[in-house]
Every structure is written in structure tokens, then in C-alpha cells.
């Protein structure tokens, strides 16, 4: 029973630290630009919806509150197509960094990172496309 309670408390805290949020898809392209091959593929073959979604950091992250971080999701369509029929997922690894350049180990220094991180550095590790069925009207 204690383990169940501890897990519920953990997920309650995590839910308050991370939520969904929207951002311009141009910001996703800026992150993706760090990987030239993937950026070139996406921009040469797909059109992105102007609005993307990502994880939104909660107010527990003092300096980074409301920042959007990966994974990113954006509706896409093949260039020239009429409708957005796919979702592009951009997965990244992140480094939470303090103003003096310290990179926090999020497994052991989560509390310190929430108080002292001032930057998140994304590194694209993969993209994924999924077909999205058209919405029924």
C-alpha cells in the first residue's frame, strides 16, 4: 500500500511539473535544424501546420516555467496536399543547464534543476511520422 501511495504522489508531482502546451511550428523547425539531414528531409517533403504542441514545464521550474520542450508534435502533410493527414513527432534528449554552465543529472538532481536551471539544450534523437485519420464531421 505504501508503494502505491508513493507512486500516486510521484505522478501527482510530475503532472504538475509537466503539461501540454502549444508553440509555433517554426520553433520545432529551429530545434530540428540542429540535425541537418532530418531538417532537410522534413522541409523538402512536408508542410507543417503553423501550430505544434510540446511538453510545457510547470511553475516548479522557476526560471523555465512555461517553456515548451520535446517531445514535439505537429500536424503535417506532403507538400502540395490539401489536408494535414500525418503527425510528425520530434524526440530529443535534453540537458538542463544552470547559468554557470552546470548540466544537471535529472535522475539525481531534479530538485536542484527545478530551482537553478535557466536553459534546456535539445538534441534531436529521432523523428516519427504517423498517419492521423481524418476527423469525422
Q: Specify the pLDDT at position 7.
A: 36
Q: What is the mean pLDDT of each run of 10 residues along the chain (137 residues)?
A: 40 48 94 95 97 93 94 96 96 96 96 96 95 66
Tally the residues of the chain.
137
**101 vs 10, 92, 107, 112, 120, CA distance in Å?**
28, 20, 18, 14, 11
pTM of the model: 0.80
Q: So what's the pLDDT on residue 55?
A: 93
pLDDT of residue 21: 83
| Burial of 105 from C-beta contacts in 10 A (0-12 / 13-18 / 19+) | exposed
Model pLDDT, residue 77: 97
Amino acid at each position: 500500500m505504501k508503494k502505491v501511495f508513493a507512486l500516486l504522489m510521484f505522478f501527482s508531482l510530475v503532472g504538475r511539473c509537466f503539461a501540454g502546451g502549444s508553440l509555433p511550428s517554426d520553433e520545432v523547425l529551429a530545434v530540428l535544424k540542429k540535425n541537418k539531414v532530418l531538417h532537410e528531409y522534413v522541409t523538402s517533403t512536408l508542410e507543417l501546420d503553423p501550430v505544434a504542441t510540446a511538453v510545457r514545464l510547470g511553475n516548479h521550474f522557476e526560471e523555465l516555467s512555461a517553456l515548451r520542450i520535446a517531445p514535439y508534435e505537429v500536424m503535417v502533410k506532403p507538400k502540395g496536399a490539401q489536408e494535414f493527414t500525418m503527425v510528425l513527432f520530434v524526440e530529443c534528449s535534453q540537458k538542463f543547464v544552470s547559468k554557470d554552465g552546470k548540466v544537471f543529472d535529472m535522475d539525481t538532481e531534479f530538485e536542484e534543476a527545478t530551482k537553478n536551471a535557466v536553459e534546456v539544450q535539445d538534441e534531436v534523437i529521432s523523428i516519427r511520422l504517423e498517419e492521423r485519420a481524418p476527423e469525422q464531421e
